[in-house]
Amino acid sequence: MSVPRPATAATDATDASGRPGAARTRAAARQLVRSDDLEEALAVAGAAIGEVLDGEAVLRVRTTQHDLHASASGVVPPAALSSLALSVLSLPHDVDGAPQASGHAPGILIESTGGHATCRVWVDTAHPPHEDAAERTLAELLLHCLAQSVDRIVMVDRVRQNEANLERAVESHRLVGQAMGILIERHRITSEEAFEVLRRASQDHNTKLREVARRVIETGAEPDDVV
Q: How many CB atoms lie within 10 A of CB 114?
A: 18
- CATH 3.30.450 assigned to 9-153: yes
CATH 1.10.10.10 domain residues, the chain: 166-225
- What is the value of pTM for the model shown? 0.65
Which pLDDT score, from 0 to 100, does residue 100 have? 57
What class has domain 166-225? mainly alpha
Domain with CATH 3.30.450 in the chain: 9-153
pLDDT of residue 4: 34
Spans of the chain below 70 pLDDT: 1-21, 93-105
Q: Which pLDDT does position 177 carry in this prediction?
A: 93
How many Å apart are CA 103 and CA 100, to the nearest integer? 9
Confidence at residue 168, expressed as pLDDT on a 0 to 100 scale? 86
Which pLDDT score, from 0 to 100, does residue 121 have?
95
